[in-house]
Amino acid sequence: MKNIFLKSGLSLALIITMTVSCKKNAEKTLPDNTDLKTEKTEMNENFSCKMLGVIASGPTTEANATTRWKWPNGSTVKVRFIGGSVFVRNKVKQYAKSWEPYANITFSFVADNAAADIKVGFDEPGYWSYLGTDSKSRSKSMNYGGFDNNTFETEFRRVIVHEFGHALGLEHEQAHPDANIPWNTQAVYNYYMGAPNYWTKEEIDYNVLAVNSRTGLSYSAYDSKSIMHYPVDARFTTNNKAIATNNTTLSQGDIAFIKTYYPGRG
């Protein structure tokens, strides 16, 4: 994989506080929901991705990790839980640490009443996370409302690794300038203008169809296998080919990038 860095660096002028959310079908209101980016991640189902953060140059991608929200390299990031069963908590601990062999960051899980950088809840619908160090100022910065003791193992892995990628500062891959996704725009409009999203054309253009500008970015090669890539349904492409429909673990591209973004381990 080329190391021409996409995941590391917009200029600070281009970004205003931004949150990333992965959610199930139900619409919801998130805490501190100004500057919010929302997405849905469901195994082999349609999904919706809505970015509400204000970014002057348009949406960014996972392969672009903003330096504004990057943790100091070598940090120990403290994580505590707000609710959740012991079983589900242990799954979060297990898969959050998938990043640690490669990123020079340690996630330390602390007592429920301890001070923490990342606060993980389970009581709201859907999956979402604030981006990188923006988590520190939030009363709750990550949520796994879709989890219970019967959740499939692949869903635990896919969602938790994805969300902790956001917590490390990573964004989304499908808007990469080299993705060249042949969108069937009318099919995209038809779907997202209907239930459960009811988005306007402008919202669809911004959240789904926009391609990130190269200006102000440093980036690595587009990675359709990235854990940070949304699944693209076949009906949303002109060649009727689905993209990234079953990305459930770290790709080699994810590993190569995170080693450069947080160097010194692995």
Kindly tell me if the per-residue pLDDT of 60 is higher than 80: no
**Which DSSP category does 126 fall into?**
S
Strand partners, 231: none
Kindly tell me if the per-residue pLDDT of 30 is higher than 60: no
pLDDT of residue 121: 95
pLDDT of residue 264: 95
Average pLDDT score over residue span 194-208: 75
Kindly tell me if the per-residue pLDDT of 48 is higher than 60: no
Kindly tell me if the per-residue pLDDT of 154 is higher than 70: yes
pLDDT of residue 196: 65
In whole angstroms, give the CA distance from residue 25 to residue 74.
Answer: 37
User: Of residues 214 and 34, which shows the higher confidence score?
Assistant: 214
pLDDT of residue 191: 86
- Least confident piece of the model among 50-64, 67-81, 90-104: 50-64
Domains and CATH numbers, the chain: 12-261 (3.40.390.10)
Task: Provide the 3-class DSSP secondary structure of residue 189.
Answer: helix
User: Of residues 113 and 56, which shows the higher confidence score?
Assistant: 113
Render pLDDT for 107-149 as a digit per residue (tens, 0 to 9).
999 999 999 999 999 998 777 888 889 899 999 999 998 899 9
Task: Provide the 3-class DSSP secondary structure of residue 60.
Answer: coil
Render pLDDT for 202-231 as a digit per residue (tens, 0 to 9).
877 766 777 777 765 546 889 999 998 878
**Are residues 164 and 93 in contact, defined by beta-carbon separation less than 8 angstroms?**
no
User: Residue written as tokens 């991640």?
Assistant: 41
**Are residues 145 and 125 in contact, defined by beta-carbon separation less than 8 angstroms?**
yes
C-alpha distances in Å from residue 107, one per residue of 39, 124, 171: 24, 23, 19
pLDDT of residue 197: 67
Going by pLDDT thresholds of 50, 70 and 90, the confidence category of residue 98 is: very high
Kindly tell me if the per-residue pLDDT of 106 is higher than 60: yes
Identify each DSSP E strand in 45-154 by its residue range: 49-51, 76-82, 106-109, 118-121, 127-130, 142-144
Task: Provide the 3-class DSSP secondary structure of residue 117.
Answer: coil
Task: Provide the 3-class DSSP secondary structure of residue 77.
Answer: strand
The helix/strand count (H/E) of the chain reads as 5, 8
139, with CB counted inside 10 A (0-12, 13-18, 19+), is exposed
In whole angstroms, give the CA distance from residue 120 to residue 104.
Answer: 21
Task: Provide the 3-class DSSP secondary structure of residue 177.
Answer: coil
pLDDT of residue 118: 97
Can you list the alpha helix ranges (DSSP code H) found in 36-176? 86-96, 153-167
pLDDT of residue 73: 96
In which element (H, E) is residue 203 found?
A: helix 201-204
pLDDT of residue 187: 92
